[in-house]
Structure 1
Amino acid sequence: MELPEAFKEKMKNLMGSAYESLLDSYDQPESKGIRTNTLKLKPAELVKILPFKTQDVKWCEAGFYIDHEVRPGKNPYYYAGLYYVQEPTAMATVEVLDPQPGEWVLDLCAAPGGKSTQIGAKLQGQGILVANELVNSRAGILSSNIERMGIANAIVTNEFPERLVDSFHESFDKIVVDAPCSGEGMFRKDPGALADWSLERVDRCVGKQEKILESAHRLLKPGGVLVYSTCTFSPEENEQMIESFIAKYPYTLADMKLSGITDHGRVEWTRQNEKAIEKSLRIMPMNVNGEGHFIAKLIKSETASELRTAKPGYPKSRLKKASQTELIDYQNFVKNNLEPGFYKKFENRLYLLGEHLYALPEGIDLEKIANLKLLRTGLHLGTFKKNRFEPSYALAMTLALAEAKNVCDLKDEAQAYQYLKGEALNMGTQKGWILVGFNGFPLGFGKASEGLIKNHYPKGLRIRKK
């Protein structure tokens, strides 16, 4: 691999005798991995049904290495949301964060969704995940991945981080800042990161990271946990960034222990010789099977709360509480198609946005988020059409097959691909809505009539070929 000369000179000066090992690592194939979606099954259950070999990732119980030649995004289980394709060292950040069911968690720079979906799985449907992404196109990908993984308690925002402060000031128990960075750990994986790298880009990233961390501080509760990570090796974006942050704000660095990771932040790479930097993790590709990451876990002081006057004049939310009259078609759909008890899951949290019905996460203040650009507000249950309710793909992905009364569980991979292409299925099932699955796991809805299942898999997700 042809690395930029300025990068090589910089790393040679920093790393000394370890420099050649770093260079050698760039000539190795990239590390590929998948992470089990534990909302749907256990890691051991996933391994049993996968058609390719896996190897455990030491620091993430749900994570597995896969062979370089494997194309995991071409398998029906991928479309069933059973796993997320993720670089193995990137899995370490949320393991350090350790979200617990019931907590409010923010992923501040969330696209494409690896860390958000990992958080969502750990929350197990309890609490709230807010996943934010500034770039429009990437925010759409983030929202799609959250849907595919069946996460019902997520809000996806498309905002500058500072715009979230008015709505969520000191609201979160835990925050991840997987900061936009110069991407030196992505060189093997992403040729674009290699082409875009420059010393000037490092400087630009430093400025962005400082602003993002300032917003994260204002969004985190006193006593809360902030985990900062990057996929760069640059001290300016790692050790020096955290050194500067804890000098300005009331945080302490926490110890971290992850199996298989022994390298720590370099005090000698700081500006002020901050000893606490030793508690951060610096994951380098010549020492682990992975692309590399930097991680720091910061605990906000219990006494760090700042008074903030409530912003007057919040706009009125476009979402409105659904009345019993407005819910009749939805109630009929649930009664006829889903098992008893499903309605009670969300009955007090049903809101309308035009013709669309949403189940909001518990505890959200609609007025406070009305001024934000929202791509997803909880679970999109479906859409009201003339005299009927049409269920959503998002709803299908949160269900277990056992929760639906009418199921078409495909066992043939060719039939699964037929459905994923958007084709009708000739299955001779009874008339009405059908939850279509593959080997026990939902893929989406179809509607049966005259022996055919009309395909309702979203057009934007349909595959062209196997």
Structure 2
Amino acid sequence: MIALPERFVERMKRTMGEKDAKAFFASYQESSAHGLRLNPGKVSCEAANAMPFSLTPVPWCSTGFYYTEEDRPGKHPYHAAGLYYIQEPSAMAVIEALRPEPGDKVLDLCAAPGGKSTHIAGYLGNEGLLVANEIHPSRVKALSENVERWGARNILVTNETPGRMTERFPAFFDKIAVDAPCSGEGMFRKLPEACEDWSEGKVAHCAEMQTDILADAAVMLKPGGVIVYSTCTFAQEENEVQIKSFLATHPEFSLEPIAQEAYFTPGELQHTVRLWPHKLRGEGHFLARLRKRADVEITEEVQEAKTKPLPPDVRKIFESFCKETLTFVPEGVYVLFGDQLYVIADGLPRLNGLKVTRVGWHLGKVKKDRFEPSHALALALRSGEWKRGIDFAADSEEVRRYLRGESLFVDTTGKGWTVVTVDGYPLGWGKLVQGQLKNHYPKGLRWV
């Protein structure tokens, strides 16, 4: 039984009313819902029935599905191939409310561990730009790994404060997700340890942080753009009161309806919504969609990044690799950081001075006379984009041996870099040498 904080219980009883409070507290005796989102860049929603799990649709997310406790999707090779992202079902509502479109420049301002970022990437479909920012250095590594596994090409992962981001991205983004750090009350059932970390002082501290984060997001949004603000808490100071205060100090913004409003409970402010654990299959959330007026004057211009042409010998080495291994040459602006080769999006601002974890699609490492492809290159490939591949079934011993980092003897001819796939979906690289597949699955990701 979850021991809810006493002051939290008292407040919820005061604000909810007897009937709702009874149902609300009863929901804490139920199990949390488990969810995953399919990756539309790799697998269609129609293929959900072919997945080896018991999936039922999440009503407010077209790519979202519930799975049962008996399923273990995180331990399946399809997870390593980035076919889905495991995410709490209520959290899927945030990007559904934002609705990015291909070609948009989108910022996920508080991005770790990557649920919202991968959701945005699914909407963009490798058109436009996704900037995923996380202030905490300890969490940004997981964020980078998750967008890599998703196969996102048009990404920039940063490790900065929102204030520092405003210096480089004034009026830059079409849409911004602010899934703000909060007191976590909505996650008490899923993460009981959050109860121990809760206090009324934490609520006040989080509300103060949220005010600053929203103000910074407003600076980075283009005129006519949209911010979706969300929390996983029930405290009004972090939700409706926060939005009221923002609107009072930012009259160029107004609240808009949320497309999935019918599935949720209206908030105290018109067009805001609440997700209650006793009224749907998911944890607690709050959402508000904010539109910036289109006629707001832009006072500061973005200074675009200057890139140097790729050295001819480096281009030759990479194009030789592509000719031998791939059916295409990746398009875009090539940037070399030391010996690491990336493709970055056009129109990026100057990034010098910012803490950047991933500057774009990581293609691999340039050695003296050869090119070593990255894991990110393999996971972002689509069917038909590689010349040489070895496919293993999801239930085979071979695929598990590959994920453990073992080399394999295979009955195939040819030599060189080879895409290893599971049921046709890229998992990583191997190198064929005389019938042996030398394993190049990253050591830090290997199964134990």
TM-score (norm 1): 0.92
Q: Could you give the per-residue CA deviations for residues 70-105 of structure 1, whole angstroms, max 9, x where no partner exists?
A: 221000000010000001111111011000000100
Q: CA deviation at 1:44?
A: 1.4
Q: CA deviation at 1:306?
A: 4.6
Q: 1:289 aligns with which of 277, 281, 293?
A: 281
Residue 269 of structure 1 corresponds to none
* Whole-angstrom CA distance in 1 between matches of 2:8 and 2:397: 48
Alignment of 1:11-26 (within 5 A): 11-17=12-18, 18-26=20-28
Residue 248 of structure 2 corresponds to 247
Q: Does the 8 A contact of 1:380 with 1:392 survive in 2?
A: yes
* Whole-angstrom CA distance in 2 between matches of 1:310 and 1:35: 34
Residue 234 of structure 2 corresponds to 233
Bigger shift: 173-182 or 401-410?
A: 401-410
Distance 1:417-1:309 versus aligned 2 partners, 3 A rule: closer
Q: CA deviation at 1:137?
A: 1.4
Residue 127 of structure 2 corresponds to 126
Residue 44 of structure 1 corresponds to 46
Q: Does the 8 A contact of 2:261 with 2:273 survive in 1?
A: no
Q: How many residue pairs get matched?
A: 443
Q: Does the 8 A contact of 1:29 with 1:68 survive in 2?
A: no
Superposed CA RMSD in Å reads 1.5
* Whole-angstrom CA distance in 2 between matches of 1:264 and 1:321: 53
* Whole-angstrom CA distance in 2 between matches of 1:291 and 1:25: 10
Q: 1:307 aligns with which of 293, 299, 306?
A: 299
Residue 392 of structure 2 corresponds to 410
Alignment of 1:14-413 (within 5 A): 14-17=15-18, 18-45=20-47, 47-249=48-250, 250-258=252-260, 261-266=263-268, 277-308=269-300, 320-339=308-327, 342-343=328-329, 345-346=330-331, 348-365=332-349, 368-411=350-393, 412-413=395-396
Bigger shift: 172-181 or 419-428?
A: 419-428
Residue 272 of structure 1 corresponds to none
Residue 367 of structure 2 aligns with an amino acid whose one-letter code is K
Residue 162 of structure 1 aligns with an amino acid whose one-letter code is G
Q: Does the 8 A contact of 1:357 with 1:383 survive in 2?
A: yes
Q: Does the 8 A contact of 2:107 with 2:177 survive in 1?
A: yes
Q: CA deviation at 1:386?
A: 3.0
Q: CA deviation at 1:309?
A: 7.1
Instruction: Specify the SS of the correspondent of 1:329.
Output: helix
* Whole-angstrom CA distance in 1 between matches of 2:157 and 2:254: 29
* Whole-angstrom CA distance in 2 between matches of 1:67 and 1:44: 19
Instruction: Specify the SS of the correspondent of 1:232.
Output: coil
* Whole-angstrom CA distance in 2 between matches of 1:457 and 1:305: 50
Q: CA deviation at 1:229?
A: 0.3
Residue 440 of structure 2 corresponds to 456
Q: CA deviation at 1:30?
A: 0.8
Tell me whether 1:440 sits opposite 2:424 in the alignment: yes
Instruction: Specify the SS of the correspondent of 2:270.
Output: helix
Q: Could you give the per-residue CA deviations for residues 376-396 of structure 1, whole angstroms, max 9, x where no partner exists?
A: 011000001231100000000
Gaps of 5+ in 2: none
Q: What percent identity do the matched residue pairs reach?
A: 46
Residue 273 of structure 1 corresponds to none
Bigger shift: 410-419 or 117-126?
A: 410-419
Residue 361 of structure 1 aligns with an amino acid whose one-letter code is A
* Whole-angstrom CA distance in 2 between matches of 1:184 and 1:70: 27
Q: CA deviation at 1:323?
A: 2.6
Residue 132 of structure 1 aligns with an amino acid whose one-letter code is N
Residue 6 of structure 2 aligns with an amino acid whose one-letter code is E
Residue 446 of structure 1 aligns with an amino acid whose one-letter code is G
Distance 1:260-1:303 versus aligned 2 partners, 3 A rule: closer
Q: Does the 8 A contact of 1:283 with 1:294 survive in 2?
A: yes
Q: CA deviation at 1:310?
A: 7.1
Q: Does the 8 A contact of 1:30 with 1:68 survive in 2?
A: no
Q: Could you give the per-residue CA deviations for residues 185-218 of structure 1, whole angstroms, max 9, x where no partner exists?
A: 1112113312211111101100110110010010
Instruction: Specify the SS of the correspondent of 1:41.
Output: coil
Distance 1:405-1:44 versus aligned 2 partners, 3 A rule: same
* Whole-angstrom CA distance in 2 between matches of 1:310 and 1:281: 34
* Whole-angstrom CA distance in 1 between matches of 2:344 and 2:337: 11
Residue 33 of structure 1 aligns with an amino acid whose one-letter code is G
Residue 409 of structure 2 corresponds to 426
Q: Does the 8 A contact of 2:49 with 2:55 survive in 1?
A: no
Distance 1:433-1:65 versus aligned 2 partners, 3 A rule: same
Residue 270 of structure 1 corresponds to none
Residue 417 of structure 2 aligns with an amino acid whose one-letter code is W
